[in-house]
Chains A and B, each alone.
Chain A
Amino acid sequence: AAVPAPQASCKHLCHRHQLFINFRDRGWHKWIIDPKGFMANYCHGDCPFSLTTSLNSSNYAFLQALMHAADPDVPQAVCIPTRLSPISMLYQDNDDNVILRHYEDMVVDECGCG
């Protein structure tokens, strides 16, 4: 039987949203030397079955969306990061050591349904 496609407007579809994390807002600028903040971004939006193939989805997301349509107890595919990139942070610890460390997967570059 044909599965009815849920209505979803474009702006509610899964995509990347801008999110800037400002260290000053949290008072962390007193010990984080650089950067002052970074564009972390986040993923949010619907993953309707009808569009899972076009929303940068995994094959599994497609199957999960299909199963959700057939059985609502199976959760819907969700909007998640599909490509992340690192940042480097320079900060000072309690022993006055200046530390430069690289952190993987800190910035969301792309989103998709998974």
Chain B
Amino acid sequence: FQFPRYVFLQFLGLDKVPSPQKLQPVPSILKKVLQDREVAAATGASPDLCYVRELGVRGNVLRLLPDQGFFLYPKKRPHASSCLQKVLYFNLSAIKEQGQVTMARLSLDLGPSSYSHLGPELELALSLVQEPRGWGRSTPRPGKVLALQSVPWPQGVLNFNLLEVAADWTRNPQKNSGLFLEILVKEDRDSRESSQLEDPCARLRRSLHASLLLVTLDPEQCRPSWKRR
């Protein structure tokens, strides 16, 4: 008797058995939610499975999507202060359930000390990738600006709320052209030659890590609670 594997996979929302080369690191928030649920189960409590208390949002599926984008190496540096440009891309096609996105948090980890030598301040610009207007244009360009942020010193992971964007992408997958990330160095041009930027920016490129935490609510499994009058 062969256990019908596909039944279990279907149950998990998978098409085939995953065969990862290596397991991805699990972010602390997912560990925390899991541990809290295990404690609740051990104590016989019955928590609301459609509410993520740790994040304060409704939802029953949490996903951490790795960035599948790429760095851009323009022949001519667009600004003297430009340090790096990257397209961030998150594949949302795995979201098959007719779920409602209730949270989308982009996390950018610039590395613990990768830019501490750069100088006084970094500036970070996050935009939507401009949708292609014609055939043949291959270089992604920044479109609508989502965030502009100064980063005066290394401060761990930077988080951005992308709820509206992610909800739009799940409804209209063809709109998902990715995000355009540009990091600029606010430098004193008199004291700093542009060539000096090369090495720290290369370090930043190596250490930069982006991920998208997505919470979805499956209406089939999470029916709206009836409100008492």
Chain A contact residues, CB within 8 Å of chain B: 26, 28, 30-31, 33-35, 85-104, 107
Closest 5 CB pairs of A and B: A31-B18, A100-B62, A98-B64, A102-B49, A88-B37
- Beyond A88-B37, A104-B221, is A30–B19 a contact (Cβ under 8 Å)? yes
Quick one: which of A26, A35, A90, A94 contacts B14, CB cutoff 8 A? A94
Contact A101 B13 (CB under 8 A): yes
A-B contact pairs, 18 of them (CB 8 A): A30-B20, A31-B18, A31-B20, A88-B34, A88-B38, A91-B18, A92-B23, A94-B18, A94-B94, A97-B65, A97-B94, A98-B63, A99-B61, A99-B62, A99-B64, A100-B33, A101-B60, A107-B41
Contact A33 B26 (CB under 8 A): yes
Residue B223 lies at the interface, judged by CB distance under 8 Å to chain A: no
Q: Which residues of A contact B11 (CB under 8 A)?
A: 103
Q: Which residues of A contact B27 (CB under 8 A)?
A: 98
Chain B contact residues, CB within 8 Å of chain A: 3, 11-20, 23-24, 26-27, 30, 33-34, 37-38, 41, 46, 49, 60-66, 91, 93-94, 221
How many A-B residue pairs have C-beta atoms within 8 angstroms? Tell me: 87
Q: Which residues of B contact A93 (CB under 8 A)?
A: 14, 18, 94
Question: What's the nearest-Cβ distance from chain B to residue A18, in Å?
Answer: 16
Given contacts A30-B20, A88-B37, 9 further A-B contacts (CB under 8 A): A34-B34, A87-B37, A92-B24, A94-B16, A96-B20, A97-B63, A97-B66, A102-B60, A104-B49
Q: Which residues of A contact B18 (CB under 8 A)?
A: 30-31, 91-94
Quick one: which of B23, B37, B38, B94 contacts A33, CB cutoff 8 A? B23
Question: What's the nearest-Cβ distance from chain B to residue A24, in Å?
Answer: 14
Interface of A is mostly: strand
Quick one: which of B3, B12, B14, B41 contacts A86, CB cutoff 8 A? B41
Closest chain B residue, CB of each to CB of A109: B44
Q: Which residues of B contact A97 (CB under 8 A)?
A: 63-66, 91, 94
Contact B20 A100 (CB under 8 A): no
- Beyond A91-B12, A92-B20, is A102–B37 a contact (Cβ under 8 Å)? yes
- Beyond A33-B26, A34-B34, is A100–B61 a contact (Cβ under 8 Å)? yes
In the bound complex, CA of A102 to CA of B15 (Å): 19
In the bound complex, CA of A95 to CA of B66 (Å): 8
Question: What's the nearest-Cβ distance from chain A to residue B124, in Å?
Answer: 25
Contact A100 B30 (CB under 8 A): yes
Closest chain B residue, CB of each to CB of A90: B34
Q: Which residues of B contact A92 (CB under 8 A)?
A: 18, 20, 23-24
Question: What's the nearest-Cβ distance from chain B to residue A62, in Å?
Answer: 28
Contact A89 B15 (CB under 8 A): no
In the bound complex, CA of A6 to CA of B16 (Å): 48
Q: Which residues of A contact B66 (CB under 8 A)?
A: 96-97
Q: Which residues of A contact B26 (CB under 8 A)?
A: 33-34, 90, 98
